[in-house]
Structure 1
Amino acid sequence: MYADFMSHPDLFIAITNGATAEDRMIRFVEYYLTSFHEGRKGAIAKKPYNPIIGETFHCSWKIPKSEVPSSVTSNSSMQAVSNHGPLSEEALSKVGPDYYTVRFVAEQVSHHPPVSGFYAECAERKMCVNAHVWTKSKFLGMSIGVTMVGEGILSLLEHGEEYTFSLPCAYARSILTVPWVELGGKVSINCVKTGYSASITFHTKPFYGGKLHRVTGEVKHNTTNAVVCRVQGEWNSVLEFTYSSGETKNVDLTKLAVTKKRVRPLEKQDPFESRRLWKNVTDSLRESEIDKATEHKRTLEERQRTEERHRIETGTPWKTKYFIKEGDGWVYHKPLWKIIPATQPAE
């Protein structure tokens, strides 16, 4: 699921192309608000696979450099420019200096509580994002609320900037009839170095009337308290950005191209990589064999419980593969900021 946040890697890379700190914060907000719709396709809620401790997922994206926005485009409608599917071996061999690569890895680092760590980087542009998310579920009558506890940090090493951000809550509504999903709550994005911040509200639908999936937000320069950009619309359809200059830009997410993940073939994946781990469940669901899928899922979960009991009995701590515990969070073991030193450009 978290890999779907990177479905528009061209917008992700474009953040660091911003000429000013204000421009980069606005670009991050634009990317952030376009990152939810791909993982929430369809109006009906679907029961997700429950991640198993130690489960990992790897993928990457190749993006033509010519398709990465180099400047903020106003008075326009941002739409699709491409739709890259899985690349053939021949195509992979041709991927070279005309492409950027974004790499992604995720790991389920804890079962109690359920915590996921994920990390993505574009080494060519010296940028990366690291996040950890602890999901807390709560029954709310006819709904289930899922709180995303944790935070992410976007590092733009070319500019020596870090952007800390949070994630909205998710709600599964009408769980006894036809379930549907919406996002809700306030989130923040903050860059201490530049003094720019963003406040975004995902509005839940009122009981009577009101629109679904509505979102509003603003970008502010904290020192002067000046609002430099406002946004409104729906996070799964059309967003309208209004800049301090009075210019506007519409982003139609229904027409925005999705760059598909590049994932290794199953036979080359490790046993605990997601698609290989859940292959039997996925195959059964595709064949509409619900009982068989449930049995395969139960087998995996029982194996997890058995292994956990053994660790408790023997006093053996769980050892993660890619993420390291730091304070209350989890950090990728080889982040870009440890390999490439951040620069301190003057603006």
Structure 2
Amino acid sequence: MANDDLSNDHPTTPLDDDAPGPPISVPDSGDTGEGGKIKMIVQLVKKCLGVKDIAAMRLSLPASLMEPIPNLEYWHYLDRPDVFAAINDSDDPFERMLAVLRFAFTKDLKFHGKVCKPYNSVLGEHFRAHWDIIPVAYSDSAQPSSPLLFSHSTSSALADPPTVASETASVKSGKSFKSSRSGLSFASKPGKSPSTAPTSLAQEDATAQMSQLNLNDASSGTSPLRVVYVTEQISHHPPVSAYYATCPDRSLELAGIDQISAKVSGTTLRVSPGEFNQGLFVKITGGHGEGEQYNITHPVASVNGILRGSFYVTVGDSTIITCTGGKPGRKFRAVVEYKEESWLGKAHFLVEGVIHTVIDGDASHEEWTKVKHVPRSRVVAVFDGTWRGRIRWRRVGSGSYPKLTSSSSSSPIPTHATLPSSSISSPAASKADVSNVDEEYCTLIDLSTLSVIPKVVRPIEKQLPHESRRLWDSVTDRLLKKEFSDATREKVAIEQKQRDEAAERKKKGIQ
């Protein structure tokens, strides 16, 4: 997030030329309890009121407010790499769009829990990881629109679930390179509903099975897939990183530029994509969807409950998924609309959307960012639900069916006689206005049953000096020991070394 420079603890530290002016900071109260943290956060929010973009400024955070995990490790969009690897499983372009939509809903499972702040990245810092995953399976009667995912059932969730081992255990010691859980910074609280509950015993078994896979071990009867990931900090002011992931066995690539813009609006921290952030790009390099590229834009997120000390994330605006390239033929586009939450009452995390056809040479769809913008005659499927739980979908019209294959094996089967006529071009007021047909809904995905799949990271002693865990190892070690003053000094030393290196490059004229 923001550039949390702690140079205020060292008054003689020179300021960055790229970020002139003193940093906004709050003193460490010394109270490491929840009450002390809340007081510091409230002070910080008050100082940030009116700031146009917090992410582009120097923000000084006490070490006690930070989560012991590097920012590059935290943001990877692969909370469910198995769902990502399933994007190219079907030979039907509509089914592939459903798969991309499913991936878009699972890429940030960590948002469902407690909000914390990882530490920022320095220029040239990079992080590498991989996952060995069990491929998504499909039942004999189900099409790829109904995958069987490793999950924990709500019925098996324990009333008093066991504590999930923190990923910081492996970050700290480097002895175990298999993380017990990724997405630490939004770790769930025990004893909550299934959408926020820690991993159940059933999911722990699945997690263990995932983490013990070996690419040379075919004893399970299904060859595991490897998804690899690398990201690097490419700018310090403003903070910008680039990332790349691939699953070669499924001819899939994921790439993008990460940058955010953040500002305090009332009692809410509003986070939106920065100017260099154009979303995620999923490219299919072979197989069924060879040549296709899917652009998934980012919605706007808000951190709420700041003054109450009860932080939670809501999502607003829209996510647009656009397919380009690939074989000639029908193309699809999805509009995912996150419903506005009332500032009174409990958040519902509701979402609805449509999938519609795209006509070659017609760019009018680029203006359709809400469900109500999409003409009824172009809609082929609708979906709704909660992005922290179950999302359901159904077909509307025949446009989603393959032209050369029978639709009898797909569910639900539309009642074509009652579908909207193609002559109707007026936009729908909402998803529910698209069709009056009472068709059967299918589950697109149930996020309340899914947990983050652990990633594999090399031991710290085998990492390069600028790899995230090794670079921040001294800070992480002291944070985990609750030695916050020492953690602050280690953090300042790392940041000062970066400033010194930047000054040396400038002196030598090195870009």
Which TM class, normalised by the smaller chain length? Answer: 0.7 to 0.9
Deviation at 1:125, TM superposition (A): 1.4
Q: 2:129 maps to which residue?
A: 59
CA 1:50–1:163 in structure 2 vs 1: closer, same or farther (change >3 Å)?
Answer: same
Deviation at 1:263, TM superposition (A): 0.8
Deviation string 1:2-61 (CA, Å, 9 cap, x unpaired) is: 22x212122111110122111101110011111111x32423x21221111111111111
Map 1:257-272 to 2 at 5 A.
257-272=451-466
Match of 1:16, SS state, is: coil
Deviation string 1:148-169 (CA, Å, 9 cap, x unpaired) is: 2312211112222111121122
Q: 1:226 maps to which residue?
A: 378
The answer to whether the 8 Å contact 2:138/2:146 transfers is no
Map 1:88-103 to 2 at 5 A.
92=214, 94-95=216-217, 98-103=223-228
For the pair 1:209 / 2:345, whether they are aligned, the reply is: yes
Map 1:70-89 to 2 at 5 A.
71-74=143-146, 79-80=151-152, 82-84=206-208, 87=211
Q: 1:339 maps to which residue?
A: none
Q: 2:254 maps to which residue?
A: 129
Deviation string 1:176-235 (CA, Å, 9 cap, x unpaired) is: 441333332212110134421111123352212363432222211123953233232222
User: After the TM superposition, which segments of 4 or more aligned residues of structure 1 sit over 6 Å from their partners?
Assistant: 75-78
Instruction: Point out the more displaced range, 68-77 or 173-182.
Output: 68-77
Q: 2:509 maps to which residue?
A: 315
Match of 1:130, SS state, is: strand
Rounded to whole Å, the distance in 2 between the matches of 1:212 and 1:308 is 46
Match of 2:119, SS state, is: coil
CA 1:300–1:241 in structure 2 vs 1: closer, same or farther (change >3 Å)?
Answer: farther
Q: What's the RMSD between the two structures over aligned residues?
A: 2.8
Deviation at 1:78, TM superposition (A): 8.0
Instruction: Point out the more displaced range, 259-268 or 6-15.
Output: 6-15
Query: Amino acid of the residue matched to residue 447 of structure 2?
Result: L
The answer to whether the 8 Å contact 2:271/2:302 transfers is yes
Match of 1:239, SS state, is: strand
The answer to whether the 8 Å contact 1:10/1:68 transfers is no
For the pair 1:120 / 2:272, whether they are aligned, the reply is: no
Match of 2:85, SS state, is: helix
For the pair 1:241 / 2:241, whether they are aligned, the reply is: no
Match of 1:305, SS state, is: helix
For the pair 1:49 / 2:119, whether they are aligned, the reply is: yes
Match of 2:207, SS state, is: coil
CA 1:78–1:251 in structure 2 vs 1: closer, same or farther (change >3 Å)?
Answer: farther
Q: 1:163 maps to which residue?
A: 294
Rounded to whole Å, the distance in 1 between the matches of 2:471 and 2:78 is 22
Query: Amino acid of the residue matched to residue 228 of structure 1?
Result: V
Which residues of structure 1 form unaligned runs of 5+?
318-347
Match of 1:12, SS state, is: helix
Q: 2:75 maps to which residue?
A: 2
Rounded to whole Å, the distance in 2 between the matches of 1:191 and 1:93 is 31
For the pair 1:40 / 2:176, whether they are aligned, the reply is: no
Rounded to whole Å, the distance in 2 between the matches of 1:256 and 1:99 is 19
Which residues of structure 2 form unaligned runs of 5+?
1-73, 153-202, 360-375, 397-411, 413-438
Deviation at 1:77, TM superposition (A): 9.3
TM-score, normalisation: structure 1? 0.80
Deviation string 1:225-258 (CA, Å, 9 cap, x unpaired) is: 5323323222233322333333311533232243
The answer to whether the 8 Å contact 1:240/1:250 transfers is yes
For the pair shown, which has the larger CA radius of gyration, 1 or 2?
2
Query: Amino acid of the residue matched to residue 220 of structure 1?
Result: H
Map 1:276-295 to 2 at 5 A.
276-295=470-489
Rounded to whole Å, the distance in 1 between the matches of 2:493 and 2:338 is 38
Match of 1:129, SS state, is: strand
Structure with the bigger percentage of strand: 1
